[in-house]
A = this chain, B = another copy of it.
Amino acid sequence: MKRTAPKTPSITVSDVARAANVSKATAARVLGGYGVVSDTIRADVMAAAKALDYRPNELARSMTTGRSGIIGVVVGDIENPFFSLAVRGISDAARAAGFNVILANSGERIDVEKAAVRLLIGKRVDGLIVTPSESRDISHLRDIHRSGRPLALLDRALPDLDVDTVTVDDRGIAMRATRILVDAGHRNIAYVTAVDAEGHEYRDLGQIYTSSVRERIDGFLTVCRDAGIDRPERYVRLGATSPAETRRVADAVLSGADRPTAILASDSVIALEIFKVIRQRGLRVPEDISLITFHDADWTSVTTPPITVIDQPVYALGKSVAELLIRRLKGDPRPAERLILPTSIFERGSVGPPSNAIVKRA
């Protein structure tokens, strides 16, 4: 049964109605599953629909109902296992509630994020989940909120935006991780993050517009200072935005005269690259360099030594934020909720005492 026509005009309710000898309204009632129809007519319409291979046009349906059944998700980087796992959590929760997910990547760039939000709103998604890449410019998020569409924030809170938010205690867990390093005797600890700032050099917290990372750096510096470490901020390194950039940053950190004895990596993608650079330079973990990273990525347990990690409940993070949003979509009037999920540390083998050479020099 070959088709020569390149475009088969799709079968509509009217077509089915005509075939079944009923009015459009009646056919629509059967096909749309609403209203009251007698059993005989229903059977007729169904038969006609099957014969014609009718497929509802969800677009038209969405337009009249105002609901699309779609949740829009804007994440920083889908390739980062952190996000892909979170998205999995979102998808599972969404599917369970009968929603679908449309995904957009911001590449952690605010202009792309804005365009993505605009697009998703244009597509009339029922609600949005966003990992805001900046806390500075959130006008587009305000717009969503104001347009009456529910918005929920994932992994990054915005103090000024009172919407459902699911995060972890970034500051607290960064403090715990840093304390592990300090307790092991480290005094020269680097913090490496993908977040960048003007000038690419860290000066103060005010430069950091990604809330989760700001919290982490804050926790990191607090513990360092409490331990009497002098100017710990000189070891905060920004701009590990890609594997190549991360290698550059790692090389710079590891080749300097005052090489740190430990590194805290802000995510597993960065940590992996740092680990590679450490190896390439002939350094050993943890003898020469101790390493802790955020996110218990799957590879961290198979390296030699395995890496000590901060285990964020990533899947649950995604699942929870989706559930919160769906609750709102169903008309829950409760005030915005800010969920903070518990986090733990898996101590493995990548932390040891600082190497003597460096300790003596310091």
Contacts and interface: CB of A to CB of B under 8 A. Distances in A.
Interface of A: 3, 5-8, 10, 53, 55-60, 62-63, 68, 70, 78-79, 81, 84-85, 87-88, 91, 100-105, 118-119, 121-124, 143, 146-148, 269, 272, 275-276, 279, 297-299, 301-304
Contacts of A60: 63
Contact of A146 (B3, B58, B298): B3
A84 B85 CA distance: 11
A125 to B, nearest CB: 10
Given A78-B88, A101-B103, A299-B298, A118 B304 contact: no
18 contacts: A8-B148, A55-B147, A57-B124, A58-B119, A58-B122, A58-B124, A59-B63, A59-B123, A70-B123, A78-B87, A78-B88, A79-B81, A88-B105, A100-B102, A102-B102, A272-B298, A276-B302, A302-B303
Nearest to A115: B95
A327 to B, nearest CB: 15
Nearest to A305: B304
A344 to B, nearest CB: 20
Given A8-B147, A63-B63, A58 B123 contact: yes
B84 A79 contact: yes
A152 B338 CA distance: 43
A142 to B, nearest CB: 10
B79 A85 contact: yes
A105 B73 CA distance: 15
Given A57-B63, A57-B122, A58-B122, 18 more contacts: A6-B148, A8-B146, A55-B118, A59-B59, A59-B62, A59-B68, A63-B63, A78-B88, A79-B84, A79-B88, A100-B104, A100-B119, A102-B103, A103-B103, A269-B298, A275-B302, A299-B299, A299-B302
A276 B301 contact: yes
A81 B81 contact: yes
Nearest to A68: B59
A119 B91 CA distance: 15
Contacts of A272: 298-299, 302
A140 B103 CA distance: 24
Nearest to A60: B63
A79 B82 CA distance: 10
Contacts of A5: 148
Contact of A303 (B78, B105, B148, B304): B304
Q: Which 7 A-B pairs have the closest CB atoms?
A: A299-B299, A58-B122, A304-B304, A7-B148, A102-B102, A59-B124, A103-B103
A51 to B, nearest CB: 15
Contact of A121 (B8, B55, B102, B301): B55
A304 B275 CA distance: 12
